[in-house]
Amino acid sequence: MNHKPIAIIATPEEDQMERIKAVCNSCHMNHIGVKTMQEVLDHTQQKPYTILFISDMITEDHLCNEILTIRNQAINKYLPVLVLCSTFPSISNDKMKLLIRAPFDIIENPINSNILTCKVHMLLTLNHQKQALQSEIQKSARAISAKNAFLSSITHEIRTPINSIIGMSDLLMDEKLDQDQKKFVRSIRCSGEMLLALFNTKIDYTNIQTDTLQLDSKVFESKSIIEKISAMLDGYLKSKRTKLITKIDPDLPRVLLGDPYRFEQVLFNILLVSIEQTINNSVTLHIKVHSKQHDIIKLYLCIEDENIGLTDQQKHSLTDDSDADFGNAHIGLFVTRHIVRKMDGNIGFSINNEKRAELWCTICFTKTSQGFLTDCEIADEEQTRVLKCESLQAEDIRILLVEDSPINQLLGVKTLNKMGFTQIETADNGEEAINCLTQKDFDLVLMDIFMPVMNGLEASRLIRHQKTIRNPNLPIVAMTAQDTDLIQNDFKNYGISTWLSKPFEIEKLATVLTQLFPGLTMSSLNKKSDNSSDQTNESKSSENRIAKNNKMTVFDKKKLLERLDGDEALYQDLIQGFLSDIPVQINKLEKALDFDDLTIAERTAHTLKGAFSNVGAQILQKIAQDLENNIQNGDIDKITMNIHSLKKSFKHITNYI
């Protein structure tokens, strides 16, 4: 409840006292009159006042000093003061700056009651507004307190089921599951971790507002954090049809001392907003050592893309220091900004010299001696690897499949899984393959030759000669649909170990792998191969009949199933991928031709040719082959006819399937 305003009138003159009391009464304000400075000090120490009227005749000391003494009391720190004086006093600039921190004015004698009344009304209005503002602040504080109490009460209730989902997923992974089931369980776990990360960001938003955000300090493995966040975002990346390319500085210490959770949070938030806003099929994460000073290491994290479409409000949230509420869409960046600054870093958005957008931040950690392996540990690791090779199982082989066609990737991964290989990663082109081989250890590369960005030959050459490659002597198996007799010499010159014709068959792949890894045993595969020999002979007879009749099939399901060793589930996955990806590739082809980009058009036609070959769509394969040739020759009329035939035949095969 607001109390009636009260003034203190300090003057030794009775007439002046009565005039001011009359003004206070007309303004409905209580008042108290005093005649000495000591009385003023005594009263202002006991309670707050609305206005102080003070005469320059009340003290022999400098009046300004007395006013500042009164305002030094906490309860009257911003007390409005009206000085009554016979002559205008001389006040230094420094003193005036101190006096006007609160309402301050000078009234010369004789007092004009009308002017004084106007000034009093103005001060009372300011006082009323001040009280209203204080009331709103108190309401806001109570609301924030209630919200924090609510969040605190539900934090445990929400985190408990999420942690249960993650924990149960871990238990399921220990059970005997097939590859698809393991993939589903990993997806559930990553989704749970992603949900928990988003929830924690909301909690941290509240902690920032109440200035209770804390940092931890513990030893952690840097690359395991990066791999964990990449896995968490894998499902979202696939839903956006976007690829994450990671480039890590070779000088990055394996182990750091700092807050691993905050590192995860920063990495997760900047990646999430970049993936949300990108309009391209890939984003690139750079993690570099920015600087080293004594034991402190500053990391530079940068998301690079042709166009990270941050809104103006998102960009503003990276630099605004007002702690404004940017809304749910921008909380991640708001929280990230506070975390990186608490970790002695910064965050920003810029355009580099190559006209590519960069969302970047810097954060500091402490180097620790645990980040460096001793010579004995290195020797032990190498010895362990040698022992594994003496009795090698398919699940021991770490394979990188480099293939630009999503359909071929799916077929390759499923085929390798069927053969018992479980450690498989994919790359869309040669550049991504180089990045993978720089960051992780692999035992084998299956390399497509004709790819965008960087082709397989150039990638193979770099693998053999680039110093940052972790295992430059690993086997490289080329995969190509071209006439291998014409390019075998090229293969050798670029360091390729051997080759497979596309589309490859399980038996041929098994033969190549057992030659490259003499200790490799795949008995279950050999049995399947034996059992399918009759089918293979029948397939060859079928091919002979087709060749003899000089007819091409629309779609040969039987032959495709034979190539897949009769795996109906794999067949369904492959066909679904085929039917969803081909329209995307055709659209990409048409856009490339609209912009007269014959390089991308030719490359896309080649990709389509390989996809049609893989599923046994011979008519479409022939059309794609003609299209590729006509693009090379620049024959626009024939290209237009090829695309029309391609669309028509694809519609026909879709209905046929």
Per-position DSSP letters for 169-188, written without gaps between them: HHHHHTS---HHHHHHHHHH
Measured distance CA(342)–CA(651) in Å, rounded: 57
Find out whether 424 and 417 touch, Cβ atoms under 8 Å.
Answer: yes
Question: Burial, 253: exposed, middle or buried (Cβ in 10 Å; 0-12, 13-18, 19+)?
Answer: buried
- Which domains, from first to last, does the chain contain? 6-111 (3.40.50.2300), 215-369 (3.30.565.10), 377-530 (3.40.50.2300), 549-656 (1.20.120.160)
Higher pLDDT, 538 or 622: 622
Band of pLDDT at residue 210, cut at 50, 70 and 90: low
Question: Nearest-CA neighbor of 433 among 410, 459, 468?
Answer: 459
Instruction: Please report, as a single letter, which amino acid is at residue 368.
Output: T
- 144-156: b (≥16 Cβ within 10 Å) or e: eeeeeeeeeeeee
Q: What pLDDT shows up at residue 371?
A: 43
The residue with greater pLDDT, 538 or 421, is 421
Sign of CA pseudo-dihedral 541, 543, 544, 545: positive
- Looking at residues 148-167, what average pLDDT do you find? 69
Segment among 121-130, 383-392, 473-482, 614-623 with least mean pLDDT: 383-392
In whole angstroms, give the CA distance from residue 43 to residue 46: 5
Tokens linked to 331: 């909380």
Average pLDDT over residues 359-373: 74
pLDDT band at 17 (very low <50, low <70, confident <90, very high): very high
| 377 or 517, which is more confident | 517
pTM of the complete model: 0.40
At residue 75, φ and ψ (nearest 5 deg) are -75, -15
- Cα–Cα distance for residue pair 612/651, rounded to 1 Å: 13
Q: Per residue in 601-633, is it b (16+ CB within 10 Å) or e — as a string?
A: bbbbbbbbbbbbbbbbbbbbbebbbbbbebbee
Spatial distance between the Cα atoms of 398 and 385, rounded to a whole number of angstroms:
12
Tell me the per-residue pLDDT of 270-317, one tens digit each, with 9 for 90 and over: 898 888 888 778 889 999 999 988 889 999 999 988 766 666 666 666
For residue 500, report the phi and psi dihedrals to the nearest 5 degrees. -130, 140
Can you tell me the distance from the alpha carbon of 184 to that of 180, in angstroms, rounded to the nearest whole number?
6
Longest Cα–Cα distance in the chain: 129
DSSP assignment letter at 353: T
513 pLDDT exceeds 70?
yes
pLDDT classification of 477: cutoffs 50, 70, 90: very high
Q: How does pLDDT run across 398-450, given as a tens digit for each residue?
A: 999 999 888 788 888 888 888 888 899 999 999 999 999 988 889 999 999 88
What backbone phi and psi angles, to 5 degrees, belong to 113?
-60, -35
Model pLDDT for residues 319-337, shown as the tens digit of each residue: 665 444 444 445 778 788 8
398-402 vs 444-448, strand pairing mode:
parallel
